[in-house]
Structures are given as structure tokens and as C-alpha cells.
Amino acid sequence: MEERGHLQTSGGPVGKGPWQTLPGRDYHAPEIYDLDRERVFARSWHCVGRSEAFVAPGDYATPEIAGESVVVIRDQHRRLRAFANTCRHRGTQLLQGRARVTAIKCPYHAWTYGIDGRLRATPNLRPEDGIDRDSIGLWEIALEEWDGFVFVNLDGNARPLAERLAGEPDSPLQLERYRVGELRVGARREYDVAANWKIVVENYHECLHCPTVHPELVRIVPLYRRGEVEEEGQVLGNSMGEGLTSFTMTGTSSLPPLPGLSDLDVHTFYGVYMFPNLILNYHSETVNAVTIHPIGPERSLVMSEFLFATETVDVPDFDPSEVVEFRDLVAKQDWVVCELAQQGVRSRFYDHGIYPRQERWIAAFNERYLAERGPAP
């Protein structure tokens, strides 16, 4: 997972550093994980993937957010909807995995809902039993789309997604010229990482580890050799090495650049983090979308999707392997050290650590996380 580029931001953390890290227990204690689920993930816009995964009416997936199973489904009007994955009768989980249905039928008592969430059938019940089908549909959950991404929010009082995007310190709205909504998934990788979700996010926000952990990467972005992620004099992004255009083993790619990019864009890497679980890496020929899904106090599922122009994917011999394999290498290098960090913060001796100046963006993330989570018991 490549390190973040520098975008116009509202600034780093308060003060000049060094800063104190989160306490060790914040990365492994079950009670902190419960707080993260309820106060961070249950109240935030959580990216669950790309809308192109839902092609036809009835296409659905069942992501888990803050311990809550959600049905994301395309209805008969081709609108994406989200519902609690629980029957209104006695709470049975309705669907699992990802597939296509014409109706949502409870596996227990066969109460059946339309793909729009309305209750359609209640077998063996008579009108005099008093069940008003029109008033007992599936519980709907807020869902919004942006640039081809699907976001779900369990908070019934959530601010509109557009407001949240505009308020991000690294706002992806600054990079609309990449037209991410028009891109298509050309490859994906999935990783089960034995580390708390915050360790995964923190790893993305610094490059002090890059010279040691990522020898291939620092050959592509010279700035990373110095452990920095912010390039002096750059308004946006990090410059790549002389003549280099891509995150591949050679620094170049046989794939065509994305349409509409300037020569500066082609030779620059941009990275955006959207709290709490979406990372976007912008490159000359692809945009790499990374979503982080906590599945335990010390375990995270990381999905990495590679987005390309439609005309690139449609070429009969389309082969993104040079891009995918390089990023897969970097990601696996990251997971090794993230998992070692996870083991280390469990030490009885680790009360907290220190962030030097080069890790100021982690300190800023920690400040935001604490503001969203609130105090712990």
C-alpha cells in the first residue's frame, strides 16, 4: 500500500512535535474496539466498494459495518439501496455473501420482501392476524454514491456525504480531473491483516519505514528515501524519479495513461485518505482504491481494487499485472511490519510511543480519531 502524497490540507496536528502516540491498549483492547465500532464506524460514511459490482436489479452484497450486517442491493428502478440484514418477524439474517435475487426470502419462516425492501408475503398468516405488510418493510439504511463508490452510514442523523467529502483535509474533490466515476475495476486483491485498523491507516501516513521496508518503492519516489511524505514546493503530490511514470518494477508501464491528465500528473503520485476506511492512490494509468474493514480488535480485511479506463480494460489482451504485482509486493511488505507492530503494542512495557516530525500526519489522524471516538473508560 503506497504512502500518501501531499495534498492541500488544513494543516498537521496541533503543536510542533514530537507527539505522543495512542496508548498501546487502543490497538488491542476489546473495549476500545467496541468504541471504535459504535462511535467511529457506526457514525461515519463507510465505503463498501464500487457501484459497478451491482449490475442488474437484485444484485446484492452483505458487507459488515460496526458489527452490523447490511444488505446493499439494486432495486427494480436500478437504484442502490441499503437495508438491515434482519427479518422484521423474528430477526433472522436474510442474505449472505454476494449474488442476485428476485426477492428477499427469510430462510426461517419465509417472510418475503421485494428488492425494494417492502414486505410482500407472510405465509400462513391471515388478514385477521393483524399484520400490516405496508408498514413492516426492511429497515432502510442511508446509502450514497460518489465517483462510482458506494458509501453506507448507520447513523440516521448523518450529514450528507458531499459535506463530509468537502470537509476532508485531503479532499478527493481536488482530483476530480481523474474522473474516477468513469473508471472500471480491472483487478483486485484481498488481504487478511493481523493488525488493528488504526495501525494499517497509520502505516499509510508515514514513510520513515520506506528505506528499510520498501527498497523497490524508494527507487520510484526519491522523496521516500528521506522518510518524508511531503515534498517542499509541491502544491499537490510527490514527484516520481526522472523519466518515471508508474509504480512498477521498471517505473514505466505498457498501459496507456488515464485520459485528460497533464504531463505533470503523469509524473506525480497523489494519495488521499478519507476517514475512516478509504484510501485512493492516483497514478498515471490507474487509480488504486483501498478499503479497510475492521473485523476484530487485532484483525483487518483490506480490499485493493485497481481502476482503469474502460477502453483500457476492453482491450482483448488487457494485462494489468505489472501494476498489480508491484503494489501487491509493497502491500505485503507493509503487512509484515504492521503485524509486528500489532504484536509489539501488546507488551506490558508499551504505554505509548513518540511521533517525530516526519510522522506528523499520523499525529493528525490520531487527533481526529480521538475527536470522533471520544473518551474511553
What is the per-residue pLDDT for 268? 95
Pick the closest to residue 223 from 245, 239, 247 (CA basis).
Answer: 239
Residues 6+ apart with CB under 8 A from 305: 49, 50, 185, 187, 188, 288, 289, 290
When pLDDT is cut at 50, 70 and 90, the band that residue 12 belongs to is low
Output the pLDDT for position 179. Answer: 97
- The alpha helices in the chain, defined as continuous H runs, are 30-35, 161-166, 197-204, 210-213, 215-220, 263-266, 310-313, 321-344, 360-373
pLDDT recorded at residue 130: 85
Radius of gyration of the chain (CA): 22
Per mean pLDDT, which range of 49-63, 177-191, 226-240 is the poorest? 226-240
Please, what is the end-to-end C-alpha distance for the chain in angstroms?
A: 33
User: Please, which pLDDT band fits residue 4 given cuts at 50, 70 and 90?
Assistant: very low
Query: Could you read off the pLDDT of 344-375 as tens digits, one per residue?
Result: 999 999 999 999 999 999 999 999 999 999 99
> What local confidence, expressed as pLDDT, does residue 319 receive?
98
Query: What pLDDT, on a 0 to 100 scale, did the predictor assign at position 164?
Result: 92
- pLDDT the model gives residue 230: 83
Cell of 120: 410482500
**What is the rounded average pLDDT of the residues 28-46?**
97
Residue 3 in this model has a pLDDT that exceeds 50: no
Cell of residue 127, nine digits: 388478514
For residue 170, pLDDT beyond 90: no
Domains, the chain, ordered by start: 1-45+169-377 (3.90.380.10), 49-157 (2.102.10.10)
Please tell me the predicted confidence (pLDDT) of residue 5: 40
| Residue 7: per-residue pLDDT | 33
Nearest to 88 by CA among 71, 100, 67, 65: 71
- Tell me, what's the pLDDT at 169? 84
Q: Is the pLDDT of residue 55 over 70?
A: yes
pTM higher than 0.75, yes or no?
yes
Question: What is the pLDDT at residue 216?
Answer: 98
Cβ neighbours of residue 363 under 8 Å, at least 6 residues apart? 12, 13, 17, 19, 355
pLDDT tens, position by position, 104-153:
999 999 999 999 999 999 999 888 888 888 999 999 999 999 999 999 99
Please provide the average confidence, as pLDDT, over all residues in the chain: 94
- Looking only at the bridges linking them, the beta strands covering 68-74 and 80-84 are antiparallel
Question: Residue 13's pLDDT is what?
Answer: 64
Report the largest interatomic distance among the alpha carbons of the chain, rounded to a whole angstrom: 78
Q: What is the mean pLDDT of residues 55-79?
A: 98
Strand partners, 189: 304
